[in-house]
Amino acid sequence: MMRHFLADDDLSPVEQAEVLSLAGQLKAAPYDFKPLQGPRTVACIYDKHTLRTQVSFAAAVAELGGYPMHVDGHLAEIGVRESVHDVAKVLGRQVSMIVWRTYAQGDLEEMAEHSGVPVVNALTDDFHPCQLLADLLTVREHKGDLAGLTVTFVGDAACNMGNSWLLAGATAGMHVRVAGPDGYLPSEAMVQRATDIAARTGGSVTITTDPQAGVAGADVVVTDTWVSMGKEDEAEERLAVLALYAVTPELLAGAAGDAIVMHCLPAYREKEIATEVLEGPQSVVWDEAENRRHAQKAILGWLLSQAGEER
């Protein structure tokens, strides 16, 4: 069966650990694995604005020996000018893998159903699983074993990063806390999905509207922009409602003394995170940004290995 990476829980706990281990190996020896040597082509489709995703996937595919073919989503108009089904059939005849940064999770799933090649979620409105692989790799580098650590996501958690932290953190056996105001918390269905995973891995899931209680004693504190792509019209309301959830030195003081701080970027200083925290000694934000490349190399290589191809 063709394996894809469409959501964080597409990987079992064992598989997630295997991919993270491979990412660590590839970071230590970046040019030793060439599963895309030929070069074989990976279509990288971008419907949304991008910096880290575009750059890190281009570098990742190149280092794996392949050719990253940039596809401008605005020119391709997938799902508008021609159906996702037809695009999947066409791309599957041209390339070895597909990476897609888009809006609807359903469109990504339709691409995977019909492409005949592995499809990777480079971000949708629902999930950001490649960012989470990079984040977990970063936490592992700074904290060691993931299982048993407490991670708190603070702010607007009704978003792809909130969902992905719930699923990926639970898969890793972490205690995942989410702290946000009413109306900005993950859906009950997503919380239940993560809770079911945590019951099998020894982790846990906690949802709270109290930011101080959320970060109390946490090993990892995570935030994200309060005005995600497509939410610009709500900016004024969001900034007002979420102001109490900013990661400031005062809020961080309630976390563990050696807690690390994460942000997937772009960051808006003095809004969701204080400059003093973002640039401070507990910040591992720039490590996260680098680790996108290593983590994405690992998931691409791992998916090929699942298809019976050598790394």
| β-pair type (97-101, 41-46) | parallel
Tally the residues of the chain: 311
The catalytic residue positions are: 101, 128, 131, 224, 264, 292
- Give Cα separations from 179 to 162, 187, 221 (angstroms): 10, 13, 10
- Give Cα separations from 19 to 13, 75, 161, 229 (angstroms): 10, 33, 19, 29
